[in-house]
Amino acid sequence: SAVPVIRYFACRGRVEPLRLLFVEAGVTWKENSLTDPKDWAQEKGQTPFGSLPIVTVGDKQYTQTMAIIRHYANEHNFFGNDSEERLRADIMVEAVLDAQEKLASKYYWNPNWETDRKDVEEKLLPPLYENIQRFFKKDNQGPWVLGQTLSVADFMLWCFLDLMRPFVPGQLPKYQELAKFHQDFSTREKIAEYLHSDKRYKNHTITLSPVGGTPETSAQP
């Protein structure tokens, strides 16, 4: 069967949960990364919704990030074992998306990050982490969002926590269950191999962000 080709920017970005899902499912994929912003200006009008990622499989083309991620979660049985589990997984996915939306403008492309960091660490982040951790723990005896069953919610949650880690170092360890989840997921055999490989992009975003100045928080020159 045809190999999925991801058309996206040369970074982790919104596609990273999909890459992790592919890794865990044993799916081989290719990257067709867009490295020059000028190319995107020309290409944007030719895409179905003026956005990336686009995943091409043979003569099929998939767009819209979460539609793509949910599609492959369904394909590879990462959506729980019944409708109740699917609902729980989806609630966590939506909670993560909400949290990302609330925080993104604060750290990405924010020239005042060093000033705003305290506000994020003390006011914005704690209730988000607390709510997510409370939901994670509720009626849950296992290491993953669905207990013993790995799901799309785990890929999304891990990527959110890992994205925030370099921006607000020292915050995650304050949330014991989330920190343990992050560690447990990071040490899954296939995931750990990918995380330490050259296949993984070093940077979260493409923009030459003034934030942090580390390979993770700023684009590569």
Mean pLDDT over all residues of the chain? 91
Rounded CA separation 154/182 (Å): 9
Backbone angles phi, psi at 63, to 5 degrees: -130, 175
The predicted pLDDT at position 217 comes to 66
In tens, the pLDDT along 3-34 reads: 999 999 888 999 999 999 999 999 999 999 98
- Any residues with CB less than 8 A from the CB of 116 and at least 6 apart, and which? 106, 110
Rounded CA separation 66/190 (Å): 23
- Cβ atoms 131, 95 nearer than 8 A: yes
What percentage of the chain carries pLDDT values higher than 90?
69
In tens, the pLDDT along 165-208 reads: 888 888 999 999 999 999 999 999 999 999 999 999 988 876 55
- The domain segmentation of the chain, as residue ranges, is 83-188
Rounded CA separation 174/54 (Å): 37
**Distances, alpha carbon 32 to alpha carbons 46, 154, 196, in Å:** 16, 26, 21
The predicted pLDDT at position 48 comes to 93
The predicted pLDDT at position 116 comes to 84
Query: What's the topology of domain 83-188?
Result: Glutathione S-transferase Yfyf (Class Pi); Chain A, domain 2 (1.20.1050)
The predicted pLDDT at position 215 comes to 67
**Distances, alpha carbon 128 to alpha carbons 132, 149, 194, in Å:** 6, 24, 28
